[in-house]
Every structure is written in C-alpha cells, then in structure tokens.
C-alpha cells in the first residue's frame, strides 16, 4: 500500500472532498466503501460466532477427554500451544541446574522501547540532541485501512 499523499477534507455538513477518485466514479467509489463496511461488519459477526463455536467444542472435547472428532461434515480438533519463558528471578535456578551449559538451554533477550516523553522529543527540532536521537531510534510505520460503517 502506498503512502497517503493527500487527506480528504470534511466540511461541517459531513461532505468529503476527495482529491482524486483514481479512475472510478464517485458512485463506484461509494459502492466499494459501502461493500467494505458491510464485509467488516460480517467479519466481526463471523469472528464472534466462530469464537463461540471454538469454546463450545473445546469444552465438549475436554469433557469427553478426547482431542479430535472426525465426521462426514468435517473435523474439530483441540490443539494446545505452549509458550515458555523464565522469570528473571528464576534465572539463577537455571544456572544452578545447567551450570556452564546454561546458554544451551536458556536464551536471554533484551528489548528497549521509548517512553511518550522521548516520543515527543523526536519531533522537537529544538532539542539539543534531536539528530542523535532520531539516528538512535528505529521507527517502523504501518499503514492500514479501517472501514467505518455509517450508523443507520
């Protein structure tokens, strides 16, 4: 998705002035936006229904003490995924267990983020160290589109 070059302007009446329609009519554009909004609403309903079905079948499989059902209609399987981490206070216990071989069994990861105070300084051109700060901070931007249905 390309970078957003111009922003649509909205007046007090709610009318929007779009700089360009990229080769489609306003009617076609509005129809596509409406369809995307309808799909967004459908997706939310489907996600809620699917979540309920997953909870139902996971509970049923657990009560029956089985992990899979195969039928002519399809199958359902309850899959458990585990993630493992060590609380930093327990690291010494791991060293006691594995000694010099600890790095073969335990990984150490460190991440650094910035605070909102630092984020404000990034855009402050008058800050004494603004250039060094911008060089030190890796900024990743993601562009996404959210469709907002109109209330009926």
Question: For residue 125, what pLDDT is reported?
Answer: 82
pLDDT tens string 135-152: 898 888 887 666 667 765
Report the range of poorest mean pLDDT among 1-10, 67-76, 77-86, 105-114.
1-10
Q: Which residues of 28-65 are buried (b: 16+ CB within 10 A; e: fewer)?
A: eeeeeeeeeeeeeeeeeeeeeeeeeeeeeebeebeeee
Show contacts of 3-8: CB within 8 Å, 24+ apart.
Answer: 3/143, 4/143
List, for residues 10-37, the tens digit of each pLDDT value: 556 665 665 556 788 889 989 999 999 9
Domain edges within the chain: 1-81, 83-136
- Residue 6's pLDDT is what? 47
């Amino acid at each position: 998705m390309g970078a957003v070059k111009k922003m649509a302007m909205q007046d007090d009446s709610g009318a929007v002035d779009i700089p360009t329609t990229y080769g489609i009519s306003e009617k076609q554009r509005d129809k596509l936006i409406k369809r995307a909004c309808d799909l967004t609403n459908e997706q939310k309903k489907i996600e809620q229904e699917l979540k309920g079905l997953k909870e139902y079948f996971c509970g049923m499989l657990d009560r029956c003490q089985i992990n899979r059902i195969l039928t002519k209609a399809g199958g359902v399987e309850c899959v458990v995924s585990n993630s493992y981490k060590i609380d930093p206070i327990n690291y010494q216990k791991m060293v006691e267990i594995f000694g010099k071989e600890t790095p073969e069994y335990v990984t150490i990861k460190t991440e650094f983020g910035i605070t909102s105070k630092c984020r404000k300084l990034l855009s402050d051109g008058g800050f004494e160290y603004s250039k060094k700060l911008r060089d030190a901070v890796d900024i990743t931007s993601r562009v996404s589109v959210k469709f907002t249905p109109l209330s009926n």
